[in-house]
Structure 1
Amino acid sequence: MSLPDTISAPLARALATKGYETLTPVQSAIIEPETAGRDLLVSAQTGSGKTVAFGMAIAATLLGEAESFTSVGAPLALVIAPTRELALQVERELQWLYAEAGAKMATCVGGMDARTERRALDRGAHIVVGTPGRLRDHITRGALDMSALRAVVLDEADEMLDLGFREDLEFILDAAPEERRTLLFSATVPKPIAQLAKTFQRDALRVAATSGGEQHADIDYKLMLVPSNERENAIINTLLYFEAVNTIVFASTREGVKHLSARLHNRGFDVVTLSGELSQAERTNALQSMRDGRARICVATDVAARGIDLPNLDLVIHADLPTNPDTLLHRSGRTGRAGRKGTCVIISPMHRRNVAQRILRTAKLDVTNMAPPTAAEIDARYREGILTATALTLPVAEEEAEFVAQLMERHSVEAIAAAYLRQQLAARPAPEDVTENPQPGKPGDSDPRTRERFEGGTWFKVNVGRKQRAEPRWLLPMLCKAGDVTKTAIGSIRIFDTESIFEVAAQKADAFSRSLAKNGSGERGVTITAVDGPGERRAGPPPSQRRPPGPIERYDPNAPRPERADRQARYGSAGLKPDDFEAPATGAWNPSADADKPRAPKRDFDKPRPPKVSKAPPSKDKGKPKWAGKPDGAAKPPKKDHKAKRKPQI
């Protein structure tokens, strides 16, 4: 199929050389006759070929009827992208697209040497591609001449507004000539984008390349629900199961990227990272490693979610759930680009399955559920791959025949096959153990930040309380260490004057007791014992499984300390018994029992108080001045002159 005649001749030749036979919907819509010479507001999903589309759209504006550029001077076109990676990728795409036309390119992106960029601008360029902050800096310094601009393209405009570049964009567009074409590309057109178009475009033509129900038709979406403690194992097994040529794994934070990349590297994967804390050179090297085949997996934050186009990127894994549907679509759009098929796996902990399903519904995606690949499934794929390896079907070369004959003489066919099998399996990372077909409610699928339910828990006591300044924040680690349990096994902690009681989950109580009997509390002078006395039993539930009366208490580190009241009298410090949880506490005041006791007489406040009598003997010198009784001629000592001793002020 031939390309449309509306495409500029040099660009059509470049497309044919690149192997283009058909155009994507956005590329076809952008070269329609009614779009010629007009400002355009284009909405198209990521991976739909927008770079080639706006390259074709501005060709007639830049070249006119000419086949190539004749002279180099001030830039004729300016392309603005939100991130460094996207700007560099756009520059690479436009390089081959305008190669036949002889276009000179220049890039202005943050993180690169600004002096080198200024020298390139001084030499002249036909098309400049850059990020908003760096472009504004060059305009302010007078390095970027905007007087000859004929077209300005804003790529991923919604992302630029989300990143806070609105002021920079307005500054750049104000500096551009009024008689220019402005092409605005955005995945969505929210109200801020519409306002930006209304302000800086003239009678813009709205172009919608795809409908909302056709998003990412070339991507197979899979939702994988896993127990929260098996998330990383599921990621490893997913990588091994699909065996994609290139994969991007998205994490939410930089620390998550570091941790996950270290785990994958230790398992034998070739991994690079991509996050905002890396320099531009490091990010460029990471992407180049993926393109060269030196690395197959890139662990990245959302900085890589827009504009990154890697060859043979077949798999995208969401290790952390995206925060909104737009982020999900932009992350997933790294695969399934330009007609290629791709797979996107969303890994969600069980306790966040409702969040994942809500995001997918809002994004209007057709998703199938997938259980995490098991070790048996991965081993089966390994063996099938070994059996169908291309190397086994190739004929024996002449230079190999002699050595093959020597192998056959010295070793049996079974020994050679076994050695080959062991070698192939050793070269592949071993799969992880995961729960087969995990279901909600299974152990390990609850939120790790929540505590277990303590139905039927066992109560213990420790001989430290408020008088020993006991607090849950140092009691809890001591109890966990003494009982060899995690903090989720410890329930309510109630602190009294000289002791504290705490609850242990029923399924952990026996192991807690065994650990205490073997190791003790681990602290000098601190003893931990069960609340129940040995051999005591009652009708109904065992005393060890009874709660103290009152509402269930949970430790809240931000809550104020409870009042002391008379809990010491209720629970006692040394004789805490099971009966204390059932009967009234001894020592508490009972009005009916104390009614006959004599009380102290009330004081009559109308009667005057008797004068106080001092027990000390009166002083003989009372009323006399301190200097009285001195020798004759002695006088009252003069007052000290404090001003005379003052240091002069400087």
Structure 2
Amino acid sequence: MTFNELNIVPEILNALSKENYTTPTPIQEQAIPAVLAGRDLLGCAQTGTGKTAAFAVPIVQLLSEQPNKPHTGRRIRSLILTPTRELALQIYDNIQAYSQYTQLRCSAIIGGVSQKAQERALKQGADIVIATPGRLNDLVNQKCIDLQYVQILVLDEADRMLDMGFIHDVKKIIAKMPKKRQTLFFSATMPPEIASMVKSLLVNPVKVNIIPVTASVERIKQSIYMIAKENKQKQLNLLLQDKSIASALVFTRTKHSADRVVKELRHADISAEAIHGNKSQNNRQLALSNFKSGVTRVLVATDIAARGIDIDELSHVINFNLPNIPETYVHRIGRTGRAGLSGTAISFCETEELPYLKVIEKLIGKTIPEIEDQPYRMQIANQPLKGGGPSASVAAKPAKSKAIPARKPKSEWFRKSRKTSR
């Protein structure tokens, strides 16, 4: 199938061609006709499936076919809510590209930067607004933004908005919009609270479920290093001596850990930058731009900050820390191996992360191969190291059991000891 077969107007087809879009992805094939028909949509899709174009292209077409009425000004007719600044800016860039041959205007409303420029853009008028919930709520409360004319609402990465505590903000925003509207809902996972929102917001939706978890990871070469926590940085430095790792996105569990990993990589003369919530918006955008252009070889990120990182030619994803949610592992490694290219995912697993590894392997339906020929290999209980050698000296030691002191009889609980002076 081609985009020509999806009843897309010539202006948007020309824009897609200019951006080198040729064949629609499965989610685009299924979602675009449904959205153009005015249906509500429930999309379950992993990162990298092309869902932004799946909702943005038909929104641009629907709004461009209904120009603003004379003397009414330019009103917000579509609102796209997304969890992070990076993802909001990525969607903004995509919509700018898709709508370049139309008269539509869009604005990005995000936190972490001054709101003055955003206020000016809103006063000039915007047909489409892409926003993070916190900043949008601020502007709604300040009466700087009017949502009563919204025709199409998009909730993108709803499960991540739940994880980040934005659901109450989202509900407040929805209460400001017309009840009669078209709603497009995207979530990679469907926890109970998200499932409840789906039932309350969507009317007879078209359901699109793209790429089962097992299929999305088949094309990615995966491996695991069993390694003690204190040796992870040494192993990472060693891995990155391999020049065939052209670009690596490294995931850590915390912001502090991300900064520490970057510091150690720079000491080893490996170009690296961190991206996380404590960084300013300008610093985050600069780090992402440097990584995409190849100026920086390694980008170290937390899961929340990594939302919105969209790089087609990412060669490696490295899990410095395994995630405790198995779906997050799939989302992480799904950032490599895109656009038909091969990809590699490498994970480090310390003793405390063994339960995480077990549920990840259960989810993807396969055992991740272990790299045994490595200098820091950790011995797992009941699984002796093969070949002995230097690795045996860094094997994990079983924890020593502590003796539990005997309890005092109740008669002595409140008895004070007396010291005799001499």
Residue identity matched to 2:402: R
Provide the rounded CA distance (Å) in 2 between the counterparts of 1:368 and 1:70: 62
1:79/1:155 contact within 8 Å kept: yes
Partner of 2:254: 253
What letter corresponds to residue 54 of structure 1 in structure 2?
A: F
**Residues 246 and 313, structure 1, Cα contact 8 Å, conserved in 2:** yes
Q: How is 1:221-370 mapped onto 2 (pairs within 5 angstroms)?
A: 221-241=222-242, 243-349=244-350, 351-352=351-352, 354-370=354-370
Match of 1:446 in 2: 396
Specify the alignment match of 1:86 in structure 2: 87
What does 1:479-558 align with in structure 2 at a 5 Å threshold?
554=402
Residues 223, 367 of structure 1: 8 Å contact kept:
no
Q: Distance in 2 between matches of 1:133 and 1:437?
A: 44
Equivalent residue, structure 2, for 1:209: 210
3-state SS of paired residue (1:369): coil
Change in 2 beyond 3 A, CA 1:105/1:71: farther
Q: How far off its partner does 1:356 sit?
A: 4.3
CA distance in 1, matches of 2:236, 2:121: 44
Query: 1:130-209 residue pairs with structure 2 within 5 A?
Result: 130-209=131-210
**Other-structure match for 2:44:** 43
Distance 1:113 1:560 in 2: 62
Q: Determine the C-alpha separation between the residues in 2 that align with 1:372 and 1:120.
A: 56
Kindly state the Cα deviation for residue 21 of structure 1 after the two structures are TM-superposed. 1.8
Distance of 1:437 and 1:254 partners within structure 2: 26
Encode CA deviations 1:137-174: one digit per residue, 9 max, x unaligned.
11121111213222111100111112111111111111
Larger relative contact order (Cα-Cα within 8 Å, sequence gap ≥ 6): 2
Q: 1:344 and 1:209, CA in 2 relative to 1: closer, same or farther beyond 3 A? A: same
Whole-Å Cα distance in 1 between the matches of residues 402 and 290 of structure 2? 52
Quick check: 1:228–1:445 contact (8 Å CA) kept in 2?
no
The residue type paired with residue 103 of structure 1 is L
Contact 1:252-1:301 within 8 A present in 2 as well: yes
Q: Give me the whole-angstrom Cα distance separating, in 2, the residues matched to 1:185 and 1:102.
A: 27
Q: TM-score, normalised by structure 1?
A: 0.57
CA 1:71–1:51: 2 relative to 1, 3 Å: farther
Q: Cα deviations across residues 401-447 of structure 1 (Å, max 9, x unaligned)?
A: xxxxxxxxxxxxxxxxxxxxxxxxxxxxxxxxx24797744332316
Q: Describe the superposition over 1:563-600 as per-residue Cα deviations: whole angstroms up to 9, x where unpaired.
A: 9xxxxxxxxxxxxxxxxxxxxxxxxxxxxxxxxxxxxx
CA gap 1:108/1:81 in 2 versus in 1, 3 angstroms: same
**C-alpha contact (below 8 Å) 1:105/1:128 kept by paired residues:** yes
Shift of residue 249, structure 1, vs aligned partner: 0.8
1:544 aligns with none
Larger Rg: 1
TM-score of the superposed pair, with normalisation by structure 2: 0.86
How far apart are the structure 2 equivalents of 1:34 and 1:80?
17
Cα offsets for 1:171-222 (capped at 9, x unmatched): 1111112232110011122322221122122222222122343233432222
Give the Cα–Cα distance (whole angstroms) in 1 for the partners of residues 231 and 203 of structure 2: 54
Q: Structure 1: give runs of 5+ residues left out of the alignment.
A: 375-433, 452-552, 564-650
Equivalent residue, structure 2, for 1:11: 12
Give the aligned residue type for 1:9: P
Distance across 2 between alignment mates of 1:156 and 1:259: 29
Q: Is the 8 A contact 1:238 1:373 kept in 2?
A: no
* Structure 2 SS opposite 1:32: helix
What is the deviation of 1:268? 0.4
Q: 1:59 to 1:326 in 2, by over 3 A?
A: same
- Do 1:26 and 1:50's aligned partners in 2 also have CA atoms closer than 8 Å? yes
For 1:270, give the aligned amino acid: S
**Aligned-pair distance for 1:560?**
9.2
1:85 Cα deviation from its structure 2 partner: 1.1
- SS of the counterpart of 1:31? helix
- Which residue number corresponds to residue 496 of structure 1? none
Among all aligned residue pairs of Structure 1 and Structure 2, give the percentage whose two residues are the same amino acid. 31
Structure 2 contact 322–353 (Cα < 8 Å) conserved: no
Q: Counterpart in 1 of 2:121?
A: 120
SS at match of 1:232: helix
Aligned 8 A contact 2:46 2:211 in 1? yes
Give distance in 2, aligned partners of 1:70 and 1:329: 50
Q: Check whether the contact 2:96–2:106 (CA below 8 A) recurs between aligned residues.
A: yes
Change (3 A) 1:83 1:220: same
SS of the counterpart of 1:265?
Answer: helix
Report how many residues are paired: 397
